[in-house]
């Protein structure tokens, strides 16, 4: 029997918001029918306009608020709220932390069937602004001048933006300065429709602990008009710059970086620290966006690993070695595996940079490399996973279950896939002891968490 949809497109209705979705939209229900409305907060009474009504759920637009949530705050930057991914900027920071902590609890219960797992209060930031150490900003033209900023939602229209309140000020300044210089020199923006023009993106990276700045100019063409003058002006106007890099992306693609990169001035890398570990960061390196909170996250992972110096540890998604090198300070031996060859080269360089000799890195799929290590006698006492948002590969989870390391530390950037994977490990003989949420990206809906997982037989011993 088909359910009757209680609302139609263009209806105006009064609602009370009950919850938030994982991407920060308010959830209201009309006779049990869920309506998702951006900018609505739980407990608020409002008038909404129905803009789409599917069979099972609909979407609305907030038209008028009758009653505000105590967590609602004045939006500080409408540009970043609309276009820059700051989906929770209209919620007080206390409210954001509550939302994220609840999200972790809810998905663990709903997806993982883990109602009784200890979830600690979320670890937030003292200052939840100006934390992002990297920007990749698209460039366009309007009224004969260069613009750089964010894409309007669901479009490729660029909104010119002077600053983002979640970027480190030095990053904002670098992007704006390079835009101004390119404008003065008449360097034309890339035109997506015609695949002509030059300047596609401006990237800036900043080492918060070292104060070192990298500028990356991304173009369609192999040459940059007035290249020498561009470099001269960047060096003159940005005293903290240590590296100016040119990346060529000649393809019709939404991918930002191309395959050809060369240094125009200064060093190939800049440096930064997470805790006491030093990292070399190139234009192409993956490096954590918020190093302050990354330190909080990794220290919790280290605590859950509970190393005494005798363990063999495997880091199954090691990237450039960030967690591996943290663990190597306390473990007997760390093995890191990663599918991206360039990341492994960075990991080896970072180990050398820190004088760490007990970390070994290999390129490949974790589910193929780890059994090989196991056969060679390198069984893991502790296994650490820090997968992408899609979570762990199922073959890796089965490998963990078969190998039976005593302890697994799961560092997650997506609570939903964390809950799914924990369920698989639980069914395979493991017990989730505790979970610590960490707010790595204030003003956004993203939430990280670290889970401590042990073999059931170890837990019961």
Catalytic site positions: 413
- Decide: 203 and 136 in contact? Cβ < 8 Å: yes
Beta bridge partners of 281: 270
Distance CA 322, CA 289 (A): 12
- Decide: 88 and 158 in contact? Cβ < 8 Å: no
- Decide: 326 and 351 in contact? Cβ < 8 Å: no
- Bridge-based pairing state of the strands 260-266 and 33-37: unpaired
Three-class SS state of 342: helix
Residue 366: half-sphere exposure toward Cβ, Cα within 13 Å: 27
What are the distances in angstroms from CA 41 to CA 46, 89, 381?
10, 12, 45
DSSP E strands, 220-289: 241-248, 260-266, 270-274, 277-281
- Decide: 443 and 166 in contact? Cβ < 8 Å: yes
Q: Count of H helices and E strands in the chain?
A: 11, 22
Sheet holding 260-266, edge to edge: 158-160, 145-151, 134-142, 199-207, 212-219, 241-248, 260-266
Distance CA 87, CA 45 (A): 20
Number of residues that make up the chain: 461
Distance CA 23, CA 12 (A): 23
- Name the token pair of 358: 């007990």
Residue with tokens 């040459």: 223
Beta bridge partners of 170: none
Torsions phi, psi of 96, nearest 5? -60, -45
- Name the token pair of 452: 């401590």
Q: Which of 313, 339, 347, 343 is nearest to 327 (CA)?
A: 313
Distance CA 40, CA 268 (A): 46
Residue 402: count of CB within 10 angstroms of its CB: 11
Distance CA 109, CA 121 (A): 16
Contacting residues for 440 by C-beta, under 8 A, at least 6 apart:
288, 289, 290, 293, 294, 297, 413, 446, 447, 448
């Amino acid at each position: 029997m088909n359910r009757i949809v209680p609302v139609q497109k263009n209806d105006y209705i009064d609602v009370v918001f009950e919850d938030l979705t994982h991407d920060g939209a308010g959830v209201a229900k009309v006779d049990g029918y869920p309506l998702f409305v951006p900018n609505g907060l739980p407990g608020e009474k409002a008038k909404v306009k129905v803009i789409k009504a599917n069979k099972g759920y609909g979407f609305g637009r907030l038209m008028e608020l009758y009653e505000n949530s105590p967590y609602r705050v004045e939006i500080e930057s409408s540009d970043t709220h609309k276009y820059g991914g700051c989906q929770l900027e209209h919620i007080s920071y206390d409210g954001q932390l509550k939302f994220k902590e609840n999200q972790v609890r809810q998905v663990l219960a709903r997806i993982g069937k883990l109602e009784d797992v200890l979830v600690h209060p979320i670890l937030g930031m003292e200052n939840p602004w100006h934390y992002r150490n990297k920007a990749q900003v698209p460039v366009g033209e309007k009224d004969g001048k260069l613009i750089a900023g964010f894409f309007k939602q669901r479009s490729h229209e660029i909104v010119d933006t002077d600053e983002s309140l979640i970027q480190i000020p030095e990053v904002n300044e670098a992007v704006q300065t390079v835009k101004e210089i390119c404008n003065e020199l008449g360097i034309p923006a890339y035109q997506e429709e015609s695949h002509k023009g030059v300047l596609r993106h401006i990237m800036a990276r900043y080492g918060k602990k070292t104060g070192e700045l990298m500028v990356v100019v991304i173009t369609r063409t192999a040459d940059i008009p007035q290249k020498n003058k561009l470099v001269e002006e960047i060096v003159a106007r940005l005293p903290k710059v240590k590296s100016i890099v040119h990346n060529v992306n000649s393809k019709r693609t939404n991918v930002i970086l191309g395959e050809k990169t060369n240094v125009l001035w200064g060093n190939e890398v800049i440096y930064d620290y997470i805790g006491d570990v030093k990292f070399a960061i190139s234009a192409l390196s993956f490096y954590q966006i918020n190093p302050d909170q990354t330190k909080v996250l990794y220290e919790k992972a280290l605590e859950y690993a509970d190393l005494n110096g005798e363990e063999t540890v495997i880091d199954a998604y090691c990237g450039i070695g960030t967690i591996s090198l943290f663990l190597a300070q306390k473990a007997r031996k760390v093995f890191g595996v990663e599918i991206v060859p360039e990341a492994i080269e960075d990991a080896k360089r970072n180990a050398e940079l820190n004088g760490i000799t007990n970390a070994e890195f290999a390129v490949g799929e974790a589910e193929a490399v780890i059994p090989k290590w196991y056969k060679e006698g390198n069984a893991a006492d502790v296994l650490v996973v820090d997968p992408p948002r899609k979570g762990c590969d199922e073959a890796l989870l089965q490998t963990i279950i078969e190998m039976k390391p005593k302890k697994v530390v799961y560092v997650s950037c997506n609570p939903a896939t964390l809950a799914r994977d924990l369920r698989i490990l639980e069914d395979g003989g493991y017990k989730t002891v505790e979970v610590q949420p960490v707010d790595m990206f204030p003003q956004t809906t993203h939430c990280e968490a670290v889970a401590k997982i042990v073999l059931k037989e170890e837990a019961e011993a």
